[in-house]
Chains A and B, each alone.
Chain A
Amino acid sequence: EDQVTQSPEALRLQEGESSSLNCSYTVSGLRGLFWYRQDPGKGPEFLFTLYSAGEEKEKERLKATLTKKESFLHITAPKPEDSATYLCAATLVSKLIFGQGTTLQVKP
């Protein structure tokens, strides 16, 4: 069965304390791996797409990487405004399979 699993479920950081979020996937026929940010009561906001192992993408304090079984979202020197739920999703042709998300809280 195709599955996406994220860890940890929740993460509390102090402002400036770097860390990584993990997304492991068992998906046959993976077309791409996506990261989204979701604020409470809002829709997922697109962050990154990764298509092949070894690929990396960066945006401000976030960097996403991909291996054949996992993806990582590295957060460098986070700020309180980075607090949100980060969703990982694998695409299989015409649908996304989401993980349960990692809820990040960054305290000042």
Chain B
Amino acid sequence: EPEVTQTPSHQVTQMGQEVILRCVPISNHLYFYWYRQILGQKVEFLVSFYNNEISEKSEIFDDQFSVERPDGSNFTLKIRSTKLEDSAMYFCASSEAIGTGGLFGPGTRLTVL
């Protein structure tokens, strides 16, 4: 069964450093998403991406964040200058069509020291 994969599973970084989180969505899916979940809190929407453009982004997704689909398979989330409060699980998801939720990857645990 096809699945969304994410690397790394755990990333530890120093405050102020740049990190790139990587995702390989399901191959025939056209819509891609990033969500995050701070420990003990709700899963929060960050950004959706379609046709090489951002479709929608939340207030959390400020200028420190960017997304890219550098090739036909990868989808990345970059945080330019990490803050302590960026520590969270980051989930990538993909879907075939708009409004169909999405299938989620296993997540990357980001720890900012």
Contact = CB atoms under 8 A, between A and B. Distances in A.
Interface of A: 31-32, 34, 36, 41-46, 49, 87, 89, 91, 93-101
B106 A42 contact: yes
A87 B43 contact: yes
Contact of B45 (A32, A41, A95): A95
Interface centre among A41, A49, A96, A98 (most CB of B within 10 A): A96
- CB-based closest 5 A-B pairs: A31-B99, A43-B104, A94-B48, A98-B43, A95-B45
A31 B48 CA distance: 16
Interface string B84-98: 000001010000001
B98 A93 contact: yes
A100 B104 contact: no
Given A43-B91, A96-B35, A91 B99 contact: yes
Given A87-B43, A93-B98, A100-B42, A43 B48 contact: no
> Interface majority SS on B: helix, strand, loop or mixed?
strand
A32 B97 CA distance: 13
B33 interface: yes
Interface centre among B42, B44, B105, B109 (most CB of A within 10 A): B42
B101 interface: yes
Contacts of A89: 43, 101
B44 A98 contact: yes
A89 B42 CA distance: 10
A18 B59 CA distance: 40
A45 B33 contact: no
B101 A34 contact: yes
B101 A94 contact: no
